[in-house]
Amino acid sequence: MSETRILQVADDEMKEAVSEACALLRAGEIVGIPTETVYGLGADAFNPEAVAKVFAAKERPSFDPLIVHIASRGDLKNVAIVPAEIADTVNKLTAEFWPGPLTLILPKHPDVPDLVTSGLATVAVRQSAHPVFRAMCKELGRPIAAPSANRFGRISPTSASAVMKELEGRIPLIVDAGACSEGVESTIISIEPREGKKPIFRLHRAGPITKEQLQAFGKVEKVREIKADAPQAPGQLASHYAPLTPLTLLEKPSDFQPVEGKKYGLLSYTGDDEGAYVGLHDWEIIESLSPGSGKLAEAAIRLFYVMRLLDEAGLDEIIAEPVSETGLGVAIMDRLRRASFRS
Ligand code: TXA
Ligand code: MG
């Protein structure tokens, strides 16, 4: 593979871009595609050779399974077998949150290649709300397997140019529909039924659909703590979303012990001068997640973009300020902890 092309697409003239990208998918190629969360690296989910290219381009270990994206709720039966005990819950969740950033882990349909699920008996499924992604699933007429379009362990891309930086020369095409509207990857849950009670939702990854939103339908419980040596826990690797520059999540300002001569940049929440973090040091650079206003939704959208900016600023270390761990803040703090994890 040599050249990677960017194909710009505006909402009102989507058709041609969609057919061009789908032609590549049909030919067993892989394509960078926008979703509402982050850019995905898509392949025809039913074509194992195409799926293998996704793992190769990302340098992703084969034990880390992919998410399968479907065109409509009705297509769920083609990729998963929903057990009767949770059928009602699945119906309610998908009616409420699909299309959108909620991924469900369900028993896999035998047609889904083992490579997609890394040999697991379960498959992760969602319906993306992005108009381009939806149109591609529909036109292809088959589900699209797509992880985030970054090299393994690195920062997820929220723009076509970020995908280019991650995968240039490794994929033929990136469909560019501008910045992603959510900014962090989908919430992932599995469902455990309970006799006479609401089910338990195991939260495999915090994301845009918050615990508070899910609680109307079930009891949300964490899957497991972050552990360095738990590759059997797919995708929950302690170190992930990591910039090349070391990043430290500074839980409290008093923990900061700068080393003389080292260049530090601050990943601030609001960038407010009055804040305990901004005034802590003579930072080389300060980048804010939600400049001025301190809104978690804006912070989520900007998180990976700002991490990239700081990573490219020639610093010795990035210091990240925590955000409040409620609502979307849970997903943001999850990404910051993994980005800062050093074994
Ligand atoms: O928002 C998103 O989910 C984006 C867009 C492209 O849809 N995709 C994404 O994919 O974040 P990826 O591959 O970067 O993350 C998928 C996560 C991984 O942590 C993987 O381990 C987990 O989903 N996963 C996939 N199948 C699973 C399964 N059967 N059981 C448990 N975890 C699973
Ligand atoms: Mg990823």
pLDDT in tens, 199-210: 999 999 999 999
The mean of the pLDDT values for the chain is 94
- Average pLDDT on 315-320 reads 98
Per-residue pLDDT at 125 exceeds 60: yes
In a domain, 182, yes or no: no
What's residue 1's pLDDT?
60
What's residue 288's pLDDT?
97
* Secondary structure (H, E, C), 251-283: CCHHHCCCCCCCCEEEEECCCCCCCCCHHHCCC
Judgement on whether residues 25 and 141 belong to the same structural domain of the protein: yes
Selected residue with higher pLDDT from 293 and 233: 293
Q: Which atom of ligand 1 is nearest to the CA of 39?
A: 6
Question: Which residues fall within 8 angstroms of residue 237, CB to CB, at 6 or more apart?
Answer: 153, 230, 231, 338
3-class SS of residue 205: strand
Domain count, the chain: 2
Q: Which amino acid appears at position 148 of this protein?
A: S
Judgement on whether residues 286 and 163 belong to the same structural domain of the protein: no
Per-residue pLDDT at 231 exceeds 80: no
Q: Which atom of ligand 1 is nearest to the CA of 146?
A: 6
Judgement on whether residues 159 and 297 belong to the same structural domain of the protein: no
- Average pLDDT on 328-336 reads 97
**Residue 177: which pLDDT band, with cuts at 50, 70 and 90?**
very high
Ligand 2 centre distance from Cα of residue 260 (Å): 35
Judgement on whether residues 165 and 289 belong to the same structural domain of the protein: no
What's residue 240's pLDDT?
81
- Give residue-wise pLDDT tens across range 267-283: 999 998 888 999 999 99
In a domain, 86, yes or no: no
126 - beta bridge partners? 69
Phi, psi of 42, rounded to the nearest 5 degrees: -95, 145
CA 165/CA 342 separation, integer angstroms = 23
Selected residue with higher pLDDT from 224 and 83: 83
What's residue 225's pLDDT?
57
Residue 184, judged by CB atoms within 10 A of its CB (0-12, 13-18, 19+), counts as buried
In a domain, 222, yes or no: no
Residue 79 CB neighbours (<10 A): 24
Q: Which domain holds residue 18?
A: 5-76+113-176
CA 66/CA 54 separation, integer angstroms = 9
Residues flanking ion ligand 2, Cβ below 5 Å: 148
In a domain, 198, yes or no: no
Query: If we measure between CA atoms, which residue out of 74, 121, 307, 97 comes closest to residue 187?
Result: 97
- Give residue-wise pLDDT tens across range 141-159: 999 999 999 999 999 999 9
3-class SS of residue 130: coil
Sign of the C-alpha dihedral computed for residues 101, 105, 108 and 109 taken in this order:
negative
Residues with CB under 6 A from ligand 1: 35, 37-38, 40, 64-67, 101, 103, 105, 117, 120, 122-124, 146-148, 185-186, 188, 204, 234-235
Residue 198 CA: distances (Å) to CA of 14, 88, 101, 260, 334? 42, 11, 22, 55, 26
Ligand 1 centre distance from Cα of residue 205 (Å): 9
What's residue 230's pLDDT?
47
- Average pLDDT on 300-327 reads 97
Q: Nearest ligand, CA of residue 102?
A: 1
In a domain, 334, yes or no: yes
- Average pLDDT on 159-181 reads 98
Judgement on whether residues 171 and 295 belong to the same structural domain of the protein: no
What's residue 232's pLDDT?
45
In a domain, 233, yes or no: no
Ligand 2 centre distance from Cα of residue 279 (Å): 34
Q: Which atom of ligand 1 is nearest to the CA of 186?
A: 1
Judgement on whether residues 29 and 133 belong to the same structural domain of the protein: yes
In a domain, 271, yes or no: yes
Ligand 2 centre distance from Cα of residue 57 (Å): 13
CATH number of the structural domain spanning residue 259? 3.40.50.11030
In a domain, 217, yes or no: no
Residue 218 CA: distances (Å) to CA of 89, 186, 214, 329, 342? 8, 18, 7, 20, 34
Judgement on whether residues 172 and 23 belong to the same structural domain of the protein: yes
Query: If we measure between CA atoms, which residue out of 85, 105, 84, 102 comes closest to residue 93?
Result: 102
